Amino acid sequence: MAKSRVLVVGGTGYLGRRIVKASIAEGHPTFVLHRPEIGTDIEKVQLLLSFKEQGARLVEGSFGNHRSLVDAVRQVDVVICAISGVHIRSHQILLQLELVDAIKEAGNIKRFLPSEFGTDPARMGHALAPGRVTFDDKMVVRKAIEEANIPFTYISANCFMGYFVGGLCQPAKIIPSTESVCLHGDGNVKAIYVDEDDIALYTLKTIDDHRTLNKTIYIRPPQNILSQREVIMAWEQLIGKELEKTSISEEEFLSIIKEQEFAQQVGLGHYYHVCYEGCLTNFEIDEEEEEASHLYPEVAYTRVKDYLRRYV
């Protein structure tokens, strides 16, 4: 079977650039949306040129120009969107409604993967405000996709390792300390950590797979389902030293959230659900959903300890 042609939207982003790389590596004819609005951002232009050198095709298109999006979408079979969705950086999830309109009009898309790649928003109806905005916006996009009868796959990628493992699960920290760490409560709540390159690879594996059509795919690499204490222990083994530990109770954490700026409140709300509530691991995957490491056992995914080794 010929490999699907893939259009990556948000290909210059933190996750998107990895999706472009994985798409090329997996042998898909790969198209990357190039927005004229990036203007003189030389880093992005150079990145786009590097994709071109690796064999990708750059397609000009703009969210403000419906026709250009329809034309871009008509050149491919699958659209993967990795538009921004982290408030401390940028959050443009609802712009995808323009993309959904274009896909609907083009009528040729076999699969659309919207920008999700985190906690399953369908399971976060109870989430705290204002952090719930991320989940609410992603659900608005899902509704539009499903109402337009667009075939989809939703990727629930759990915690990006760069943010969570790099900071030993502490918010606003992305480099592990060799001195001290603050635990969320007793530090025993389990979460799930996935290397960003592995997220991209698993994502690409799903697009031509009938088992993932119109489903949510959870990425739960079994060796990476760990508590904060277990992540810290892996780091301590690598550096040959025990960190000094303090702890912050659930009540204290919730009261600190209230004192922050909006973007920080959103991010801390997500940490609350992951690290205190255990929202990534407190449910079983339903029969009509799938788990990526089970579907694709050939992927040699990165273990937490190996990810941490790069900081030593």
For ligand NDP, the binding residues (CB under 6 A) are: 10, 12-16, 35, 38, 44, 63, 82-86, 89-90, 92, 95, 115-118, 157, 159-160, 163
**β strands within 52-108, DSSP E:** 57-60, 78-81, 85-86, 90-91
CA atoms within 13 Å, Cβ hemisphere of 64: 3
By C-alpha distance, which of 156, 155, 61 is closest to 99? 61
CB nearer to ligand NDP: give 16 or 269.
16
By C-alpha distance, which of 141, 133, 70 is closest to 269? 133
CB nearer to ligand NDP: give 90 or 180.
90
Strand, helix or coil at 181? strand
Question: Is 104 part of the annotated catalytic residue set?
Answer: no
CB nearer to ligand NDP: give 19 or 257.
19
CB nearer to ligand NDP: give 140 or 239.
140
Query: Helical H runs in 79-131?
Result: 96-106
Strand, helix or coil at 177? coil
Smallest gap from residue 47 Cβ to ligand NDP (A): 8
Q: Are 184 and 268 in contact (CB under 8 A)?
A: no
Smallest gap from residue 134 Cβ to ligand NDP (A): 6
Q: Which residue has the tokens 């690796």?
A: 54
Catalytic residue (choose from 21, 138, 205, 305): 138
Active site residues: 138
